Structure 1
Amino acid sequence: MLLITCPHCGPRDEVEFHYGGQADVAYPQDPQSLDDAAWAQFLFYRDNPAGAFAERWQHSAGCRKWFDVVRDTVTYEFLTPEGEQR
């Protein structure tokens, strides 16, 4: 089980959190101009690196706030200092 540090509530078990996917994914500038393939690219295709990866998490069973972290996808270690907002 992972111990995730919420920047607002402190360290909690991973069962209190909801994974939100890759961080810093920008919404399309002109969504009406996108065809189906471009929408699929935006909605479903994400990076999948082995190593440091910026992610979104929500403390769903606590303060319900979203925050960004950097996590190593190989070791599962959270690399962002506790409480730091990216």
Structure 2
Amino acid sequence: MRLTCPLCGPRDRREFTYYGSEDYLNRPAEGAQPEAWNDYLHLRDNPAGITKDLWYHDMGCSSWLLVTRNTVTHEINDVQAVAAAATGGAAT
């Protein structure tokens, strides 16, 4: 599998570390109930099909990436820097 880093271009997936679902970007607010933290830390969907995941480019530019991919076909649909995704920036 190859990911196209917005800063470094196409790279082999071995340059990246997978961190999980994009849900990790939506932390509970300060002072949230323990149940909210339990859900955030432990409850995850495992869908077949299109997902958005966090990847870290640890053997490159050290960017956090939001990768849209299909878990059935292994097709990469989109890769964005997390900072650009948060501000509505352009995808690459």
Residue in structure 1 matched with residue 14 of structure 2 by the alignment: 15
Residue in structure 1 matched with residue 38 of structure 2 by the alignment: 40
What stretches of structure 1 of length at least 5 have no aligned partner?
Answer: none
Deviation, 1:81, is: 6.3
What percentage of residue pairs aligned between the two structures are identical? 41
Residue in structure 1 matched with residue 76 of structure 2 by the alignment: 78
Q: SS state of the match for residue 50, structure 1?
A: coil
Structure 1 stretch displaced more, 72-81 or 52-61: 72-81
Residue in structure 2 matched with residue 26 of structure 1 by the alignment: 26
Q: 1:75 to 1:22 in 2, by over 3 A?
A: same
* 1:13-56 alpha-carbon deviations (Å, 9 max, x no partner): 111001121114411124x3422x44222112112111000111
More helix by share: 2
Compute the RMSD of aligned alpha carbons: 2.2
2:4, 2:79 within 8 Å by CA — same for their partners in 1?
A: no
Relative contact order: is structure 1 or structure 2 higher (C-alpha 8 Å, sep ≥ 6)?
1
- Which residue of 36, 55, 58 corresponds with 2:56? 58
Q: Work out the number of aligned pairs and report it.
A: 82
More strand by share: 2
**Larger radius of gyration, structure 1 or 2?**
1
TM-score (norm 1): 0.80
Q: 1:52 to 1:34 in 2, by over 3 A?
A: same
For 1:44 and 1:18, locate their aligned partners in 2 and report how far apart those are by CA, in whole Å: 20
